[in-house]
Amino acid sequence: MKRERSAQLHEQALDVILGGVNSPSRSFKAVGGGAPVTMERAQGAYFWDVDGNRYIDYLAAYGPIITGHAHPHVTKAICEAATNGTLYGTPTPWEITFANMIREAIPSMERIRFNNSGTEAVMTCIRVARAYTGRVKIIKFAGCYHGHSDLVLVAAGSGPSTLGIPDSAGIPQSIASEVITVPFNNVQAFAEAMSKWGSETACVLVEPIVGNFGIVAPEPGFLEEVNRITHEAGALVVYDEVITAFRFCYGGAQNLLGVEPDLTALGKIIGGGLPIGAYGGRREIMEQVAPLGPAYQAGTMAGNPASIRAGIACLEVLKQPGVYDEFERLGAMLANGIIEAANKHGVTIQLNRVKGALAVYFTDEPVSDYDAAQKANGEIFARFFQLMLNEGVCLAPSKYEAWFVTTAHTEEDIQFTIAAVDRAFSQL
């Protein structure tokens, strides 16, 4: 497969766009380097690069594109928004409709605010939790990504239950040291951290199903214990459902799992492919936010009609009967096909899956936390990734990024993908 134009454009991009990409995860650094593929058109489950090659898309733009690209219902909503003005700086009727739709689906979000990204949603949840509790510290779980704000771009210190260290240059140690990072799915480590820091902790931040080192479900009882211990300490539970909401059911992972946080952050899917974030939670906690309360949050673009109307349309598509059953059916078919191909060719993998989201790790150890995910073999993944690209299947260029099935994927696409995986595994 030739990608000459992609290579040329990457050269041009390097000259003007820092690193040639507008988000570091788009670079091919982790898969052997070289020019990332430059896409120029997308429809349904496919996109086409600037050299005219077609790919089946499992990246789904890192999650948002759950109804496939340019879904007619979503496209219509965006066009209607465009012809009526995309930004008013005033309240609009659609934001009320949309907030009601979200609250009906995720009842713990008694009051809601829209903003522009997952990063903003999480960052504001933390501010609100701090305002409500009058405390400062945050506890989060290793490997979970909560956006690029200073508050959460923090790695674990030298051991569990130690204060964090900045995970990026430019973040003050003073901010990082307010964050404690513990392993996911490890109640004991969490309980230890809480016994040490619980009384100073404003909130515990958790992806209820992890989507940032592949797909990792919580072990039975884990989230319930996190809730119990957090509340006993007088702190708040914040679910980062930026990846998970509306992915596994029409609602949050919290609805699927039967656990309830105090605050929830949303993004990605709820924008139907346009920029959005949202946060919400218990009424008395949310009432901390201006204009009602002393915690400030604002946004020029917040609640813009284009994102809101695209989001409404996207949820309308997802609300159709059978959508999540089909994710389950196609997700299982894809997972089984990959596992069969791995067995046939003697390739060691672990496969985690929830509905239409799955992760393939090249490792022999089951993956239930970040430590295990990190042990996945990046060199084998890099070869697999390039082979799949040449087969016309686009994955995320990271050894533990999730694959997402969308409503646009068909059984034929899944079979095509399995055949490609089979050929790729035969060459590893």
User: Which residues contribute to the site for ligand PMP (CB under 6 A)?
Assistant: 62, 117-119, 122, 145-147, 207, 211-212, 240, 242-243, 267
Task: Round the CA-based radius of gyration of the chain to a whole number and report it.
Answer: 21
Shortest gap between Cβ of 93 and ligand PMP (angstroms)? 25
Closer of 77 and 215 to ligand PMP (Cβ): 215
Closer of 145 and 246 to ligand PMP (Cβ): 145
d(CA 322, CA 110): 27
Angle at 108 between CA 103 and CA 114, to 5 degrees: 50
Closer of 92 and 212 to ligand PMP (Cβ): 212
What type of residue sits at position 325? D
Point out which residues pair with 201 in neighbouring strands: 137
Minimal CB distance residue for ligand PMP: 118
Closer of 270 and 387 to ligand PMP (Cβ): 270
Closer of 118 and 164 to ligand PMP (Cβ): 118
d(CA 339, CA 319): 31
Per the residue annotation, which of 49, 55, 137, 240 is the catalytic one? 240
Query: Mind spelling out the 3-state secondary structure of 225-294?
Result: HHHHHHHHCCCEEEEECCCCCCCCCCCCHHHHHCCCCCEEEEEHHHHCCCCCEEEEECHHHHCCECCCCC
Shortest gap between Cβ of 410 and ligand PMP (angstroms)? 27
What the block records as the tokens of 91 is 């309240």
Burial class (CB in 10 A: 0-12, 13-18, 19+), 181: buried
Angle at 24 between CA 331 and CA 312, to 5 degrees: 50
Q: Is 145 a catalytic residue?
A: yes
Q: Is 268 a catalytic residue?
A: yes
Shortest gap between Cβ of 54 and ligand PMP (angstroms)? 26
Query: Mind spelling out the 3-state secondary structure of 289-341?
Result: ECCCCCECCCCCCCCCHHHHHHHHHHHHHHCCCCHHHHHHHHHHHHHHHHHHH
Per the residue annotation, which of 145, 239, 370, 400 is the catalytic one? 145
Q: By the 8 A CB rule, do 296 and 120 touch?
A: no
Q: Is 51 a catalytic residue?
A: no
Closer of 342 and 394 to ligand PMP (Cβ): 394
Residue with tokens 């928004």: 81
Which segments of 137-261 does DSSP mark as H helices, in order?
Answer: 173-176, 187-197, 222-232, 253-257
- Of 354, 353, 356, 359, the closest CA to residue 330 belongs to 356
Closer of 126 and 342 to ligand PMP (Cβ): 126
d(CA 425, CA 428): 5
d(CA 412, CA 393): 13
Shortest gap between Cβ of 78 and ligand PMP (angstroms)? 18
Per the residue annotation, which of 140, 268, 355, 399 is the catalytic one? 268
- Of 97, 98, 61, the closest CA to residue 273 belongs to 61
Q: By the 8 A CB rule, do 27 and 397 touch?
A: yes
Point out which residues pair with 216 in neighbouring strands: 210
**Strand, helix or coil for residue 371:** helix
Closer of 147 and 251 to ligand PMP (Cβ): 147
Closer of 135 and 146 to ligand PMP (Cβ): 146
The residues carrying an active-site annotation are: 145, 240, 268
